[in-house]
C-alpha cells in the first residue's frame, strides 16, 4: 500500500530536549515536505526537499532542521524544542506527472512541548 | 448552495444540498491549485486540482472553479453527504517552484 508514515504519532516532551520525528514514504517520490498545522493558520511549510541531499526552507523553518540522506526518509529534527513548537506536524511526499503534483500526507504527529 | 465569493471559516450544509467553498489566493504567479480534504484525526487528502490555463474542472461530485482575474478559487460539492464533513483547504503553487501555500481552511458540517 502506497503511504507516508510518521513516528511517533504523539509526543510530549520538555523544553530543550532534542527530538526527531521520522517520516518515510514507499512511493519513490522525489519531493518531500514538512508542515505544521495550528488552529486558524492552516498548514505552513517548514522545510522541503526536492531530492536526496537537496533541502530548502519553507515559510517557518526557525527552530527546525531536516536531512535527506535517502530518498524514502525525511526526518524532522528539533534541536532545542520550545513551547511555541507545540503543534500538529505533517510530512508529505509527491512526484510530478504530466504537470500535476499530488501530495500524499502522513497521519500527523501531535507534539506537546512543556 | 451556500454563500459565493466570501471565504467562511465554517459552513453548515443540509444533507443533499450543494456546497460551495471559497478561497482567495494571494500570489499572481501561482499557476497550479489544489483542494484538500482533512477529516478529523487524519492528514489532508487530495480532492481535485486545476491548472491556471483552465477555469473549470470536474471530478466525481466535485467541481473546481478558478477566476484568475480576482484570484478566487471555489470548490463545489454536489449532493453533500455526511461523509463530506471535514476541513477543506485550498493550496496554491507555481510550477517552477516547490513551495505549496495553504489557505486557512473551511470546516464543513453536514446536517442530517
CA nearest A85: which of A1, A21, A32, A5? A21
Three-state secondary structure along A69-106? CCCCECCEEECCCCHHHCEEEEEEEEEEECCEEEEEEC
Averaged over successive runs of 10 residues, the pLDDT of chain A (114 residues) comes to: 93 97 96 93 92 94 97 97 97 82 92 98
CB proximity A44 to B under 8 Å: yes
Cis check: omega of the bond before A42, within 30 degrees of 0: no
Half-sphere exposure of B23 (CA within 13 A, CB side): 29
Of A96 and B38, which is predicted with more confidence? Answer: B38
Contact across the interface for A48 and B101, Cβ inside 8 Å: no
Is there a contact between B46 and B69 (Cβ–Cβ < 8 Å)?
no
Distance CA B79, CA B102 (A): 26
pLDDT given at position B1: 31
Q: How confident is the model over B3-16, as a mean pLDDT?
A: 76
Inter-chain CB pairs, A–B, below 8 Å: 57
Helix runs in B1-112, H state only: none
Q: How confident is the model over B103-109, as a mean pLDDT?
A: 92
- At A8 the three-state DSSP class reads coil
pLDDT per residue as tens digits for the range B60-81: 999 999 999 999 999 999 999 9
DSSP conformation class of B82 = G
Interface test mutation site (partner A, options B21, B38, B44, B97, max chain A beta carbons within 10 A): B44
Distance CA B31, CA B72 (A): 12
pLDDT given at position B2: 33
CA nearest A107: which of B89, B91, B102, B40? B40
Chain B residues closer than 8 Å to A41 by CB = 104
Amino acid at each position: 500500500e502506497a503511504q507516508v508514515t510518521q513516528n511517533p504519532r504523539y509526543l510530549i516532551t520538555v523544553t530543550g530536549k532534542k527530538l526527531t520525528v521520522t517520516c518515510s514514504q514507499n512511493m519513490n517520490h522525489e519531493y518531500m515536505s514538512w508542515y505544521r498545522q495550528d488552529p486558524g493558520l492552516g498548514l505552513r511549510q517548514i522545510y522541503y526537499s526536492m531530492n536526496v541531499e537537496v533541502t530548502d526552507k519553507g515559510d517557518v523553518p526557525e527552530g527546525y532542521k531536516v536531512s535527506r540522506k535517502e530518498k524514502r526518509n525525511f526526518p524532522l529534527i528539533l534541536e532545542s524544542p520550545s513551547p511555541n513548537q507545540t503543534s500538529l506536524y505533517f510530512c508529505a511526499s509527491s512526484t510530478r506527472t504530466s504537470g500535476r503534483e499530488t501530495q500524499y500526507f502522513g497521519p500527523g504527529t501531535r507534539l506537546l512541548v512543556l | 448552495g451556500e454563500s459565493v465569493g466570501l471565504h467562511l471559516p465554517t459552513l453548515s450544509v443540509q444533507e443533499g444540498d450543494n456546497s460551495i467553498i471559497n478561497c482567495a489566493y494571494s500570489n499572481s504567479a501561482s499557476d497550479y491549485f489544489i483542494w484538500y480534504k482533512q477529516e478529523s484525526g487524519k492528514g489532508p487528502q487530495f480532492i481535485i486540482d486545476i491548472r491556471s490555463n483552465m477555469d473549470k474542472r470536474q471530478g466525481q461530485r466535485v467541481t473546481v472553479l478558478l477566476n484568475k482575474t480576482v484570484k478566487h478559487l471555489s470548490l463545489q460539492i454536489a449532493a453533500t453527504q455526511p461523509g463530506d464533513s471535514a476541513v477543506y483547504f485550498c493550496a496554491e503553487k507555481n510550477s517552477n517552484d516547490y513551495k505549496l501555500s495553504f489557505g486557512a481552511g473551511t470546516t464543513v458540517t453536514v446536517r442530517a
